[in-house]
Amino acid sequence: MNSSKKKITALSKLVILSTFFLLYLGPMLFVFLNSFKPNKEIILNPLTLTGYSGIQNYISAAEKMKYIAAFGNSLFITIISVGLIIFTSSMTAYLFCRKKWVINNLMFYGMIAAMILPFQALMIPLVSIYGGLLNVLNKWTLIYMYIGFGAPLAVFMYHGFIKGIPLELEEAAQIDGANSIQVFTKIIWPILKPTTFTIMILDVLWIWNDFLLPSLILIEAKDRTLPLSTFYFYGTYSVDLGLMMAGLVLIITPVLILYLFLQKYILEGVVQGAIK
């Protein structure tokens, strides 16, 4: 009887989880299937499995959204922003964790408090200052803002991880003659790898897919990122759904590939962070 109950329970869990999985996967599958259809077929019956036109939508979407240029802009902004967030936040968290200064505690709690503020409350003052007063709305300003908005969470995650690293490791390195920079780069930084990969994928997903902040900062068409390039599919009174869905698939594919390569590090970082 117990064995039968366990099998029924396991089967029920499998059915429930499979249902939720299909519900979650449904919209993405819907977009992928319709990305191969002409606009007319999508409007007539978006759920049909017929009427496919091959990869013509992808070719037209890539040309219309200037995919290569937009991909280059997104890649440049994402790599520089994520790299600087990781570089500055890891050192900041190490300083906050190891130096028990009053100013460090105040700054750390200030950064934590900043995570509560919604971006929508800050976007108008930011655009007014950097666009009206300073007139510096460009890719570098966008990167600067991404660092400011992304650093608090990264510092918080690094800080929690570094607290679990024994001080004896650093003391042993200092006895061997290592200075503070060498201790961080050769002892602490390699240990932070799981957390670094976790922060990397979170920030890449955020920055790569962000639409609101680039739409406010990137004024010129040549600076548009991939999410902004979806503007090309919207007309005054209509939208080409086939091209738009093909464009969406082109946008999310690089991030999915990155996630597949880094998923084991992400899981490792989450597990180790929970244990520590």
7 occurs within a structural domain: no
8 occurs within a structural domain: no
What's residue 269's pLDDT? 59
29 occurs within a structural domain: no
28 occurs within a structural domain: no
The CA-atom distances, in angstroms, between 73 and each of 76, 202, 205, 207 are 5, 19, 15, 12
How long is the chain?
276
Phi first, then psi, for residue 85 (nearest 5°) are -60, -45
Task: Enter the tokens of residue 126.
Answer: 């930011």
Residue 207 sits in a domain whose CATH number is: 1.10.3720.10
Are the CB atoms for 155 and 104 separated by under 8 Å? no
In which domain, by residue range, is 204 found?
55-275
pLDDT in tens, the chain (276 residues): 567 777 888 888 888 988 888 888 888 888 888 888 887 888 877 777 677 777 888 888 888 888 899 999 999 999 999 999 999 999 999 999 888 888 988 999 998 888 888 888 888 888 888 887 888 888 999 999 999 999 999 999 999 888 888 888 888 888 888 888 888 888 889 888 888 988 988 899 899 989 889 988 988 888 889 988 887 777 666 677 888 888 888 888 888 888 787 777 666 655 555 444
Q: How many domains does the chain have?
A: 1
Q: For residue 70, which amino acid is it?
A: A
38 occurs within a structural domain: no
What's residue 274's pLDDT? 47
48 occurs within a structural domain: no
Tens-digit pLDDT profile for residues 81-92? 999 999 999 999
Q: For residue 258, which amino acid is it?
A: L
Say how far apart CA 219 and CA 204 lie, in whole Å: 22
213 occurs within a structural domain: yes
Whole-model pTM: value is 0.83
248 occurs within a structural domain: yes
